[in-house]
Chain A
């Protein structure tokens, strides 16, 4: 705790701008590894929330977030300053989420009865309960195919531009535009049973 305070005194978050990611990375490459903690503190919540929305599970958030930042730590000296740090960070996060989903899928193939019916069905809820609405939306998003879900989350949840999403996912802006549209259409269909309450 003291260490966090100490670092925050040295580089106060309030005065850092977007470009300050670059200056922190430069200092890290120059051998000052202590700045990495500042970098983590600046972006950890983005990473954790992206993992949460993508996986719709809180179980693995801490583990996958640590995997993401350990990967960043190991590769940061090879960062080329051609795109924003967040774009690079999101790409690593999404890849880690994909790896995790792949492992889960393999496990579910090996033990097909592990996926419970409850996880796949729609809960009957009272729409006054905000927590349950949140749950319905998360489950609906989780039902989207991965290639539609990720651009939609990056746009509507993380607030990235089409250009940034395209850079993160390594695709064209036109593709992102199309995928986000298709994601919204699919989401509307999934939420059809709750149209009156939600839409």
Chain B
């Protein structure tokens, strides 16, 4: 057993290095004389020390100093050149003077620079925009969902969708939603089932829906930079599909139609579907562009007919190249950053949340001029659709089989357009087809009142109701007077209180 402690061993180490004071050295030497174990410890330490001190040195590098001096010389040169810049005051002064010079001679430098950068970003994200059909083929069910449930699936895999809606103030908005659900209880099969449509009628519904496919696709543009550009006029197509479907419902099943249509829509003679006539060319196209970095509006000058031709050509080509089509379908929208300077309140209102980005359609944006302003019938359309949604499907309704219903296909487009007419004039427009619902109400788009003109039957009902209300008012007044008299009598009869 070792009799010496850690301190003695530490002293032994220092003794070996000749670092002990004389007094301690003498004491340790006494211990060394008497302890063979301690002497052995000292020998081991000596060997360890020798191992280190005998480590071989590196061979002398005689050119080291020369290389070093060359390096120092090189560093000094570069330092002398820019040494003045190392002083913060000098550097700050140079930057300030440069900025002042730029601002003095080119006052528009920074605004121009920023505008150019902004323009570069916008150009980058709006380049190579293609119709939506390039990344997704729209089915009749998609279009039905778009009309009824206000959503259009942009990317089924990532559940990204385009939503149309109205905020609490009634302002229309376009919204790109992430991880949204397009599933709805009221879909195309339910619609077909509830109306008990036969195959021919179902085909007609499909053809009505699909006839809007290219219109929708040309109002939603996408590119390989994960940008989606939406033309706010898509709202009009949304309404147009709804009105077309309602007209068709009315034509095939009057009983159902009577139940779901609001008063203004109740018609006796609705027997054919209606489409709006379209002009050949468009003027202005303002798109809302949702890009990975920002949201902005841009006028994109596309000829709709050219776009549609392109879409048809693309569809034809892609039917032969499904692999290429699948590659294109990797499109994904991801809006992350939204710099304020890209929009301002007077241009558009944007809301960004974790799972959606919404752009409110400003009043000033010109919608496609050839389409009627749907504002006046929107509420009626909404009411009709709500009732259709909550319609009791078990009610037995005799759905008349109308084999003469026109099946809409692209080839028959001209015929279809001829089936009805809108007269658009200074006063607004009115449906003048004698067999249409135009007999029951008119739209006044230029008129500030923007109200319906009800038919005579409705006006008579209103008159009767008014008279009844007047009578009720007179009765109420009589009752009130009688009550007052009664109350007065009771007060007069009251005895004084005795104290």
Contacts and interface: CB of A to CB of B under 8 A. Distances in A.
A70 interface: yes
Given A3-B66, A44-B65, A199-B48, A184 B13 contact: yes
A55 interface: no
A41 B65 contact: yes
B58 A48 contact: yes
A177 interface: yes
Interface string A9-49: 00000000000000000000000000011001100110011
A188 B48 contact: yes
A61 B65 CA distance: 14
A141 B47 CA distance: 14
Interface in B47-89: 47-49, 51-53, 55-58, 60-69, 71-72, 75
A199 B48 CA distance: 7
Interface in A133-176: 134, 137-138, 141, 152-153, 155-157, 159, 161-162
A156 B57 contact: no
A49 B72 CA distance: 22
B19 A177 contact: yes
B10 A199 contact: no
Contacts of B55: 53, 134, 137-138, 157
A73 interface: yes
A157 B75 CA distance: 33
B9 interface: yes
B26 interface: no
B58 A45 contact: yes
Given A44-B64, A48-B61, A177 B14 contact: yes
A152 B13 contact: no
B51 to A, nearest CB: 5
Contacts of B60: 45
Nearest to B73: A33
Interface string A167-195: 00000000001101100110110010000
A138 B14 CA distance: 22
A153 B63 CA distance: 26
Contact of A181 (B10, B47, B66, B69): B10
B17 interface: yes
A156 B53 contact: yes
A1 interface: yes
A52 B58 CA distance: 8
B14 A157 contact: no
B463 interface: no
A137 B56 CA distance: 11
A180 B62 CA distance: 33
A62 interface: yes
Interface in B1-51: 9-10, 13-14, 17, 19, 44-45, 47-49, 51
A142 to B, nearest CB: 12
B375 to A, nearest CB: 62
Contact of A199 (B14, B19, B44): B44
A198 interface: yes
Given A44-B64, A45-B60, A157 B53 contact: yes
B64 A62 contact: yes
A66 interface: yes
A69 interface: yes
A66 B67 contact: yes
A93 interface: no
A187 B51 CA distance: 11
Interface of A: 1, 3-4, 36-37, 40-41, 44-45, 48-49, 52-53, 58, 61-62, 65-66, 69-70, 73, 134, 137-138, 141, 152-153, 155-157, 159, 161-162, 177-178, 180-181, 184-185, 187-188, 191, 198-199
27 contacts: A1-B63, A1-B66, A4-B62, A40-B65, A41-B65, A44-B64, A45-B60, A48-B61, A66-B71, A70-B68, A70-B71, A70-B75, A73-B72, A137-B55, A156-B52, A156-B53, A162-B14, A177-B10, A177-B14, A181-B13, A181-B14, A184-B45, A184-B49, A188-B44, A188-B48, A191-B48, A198-B51
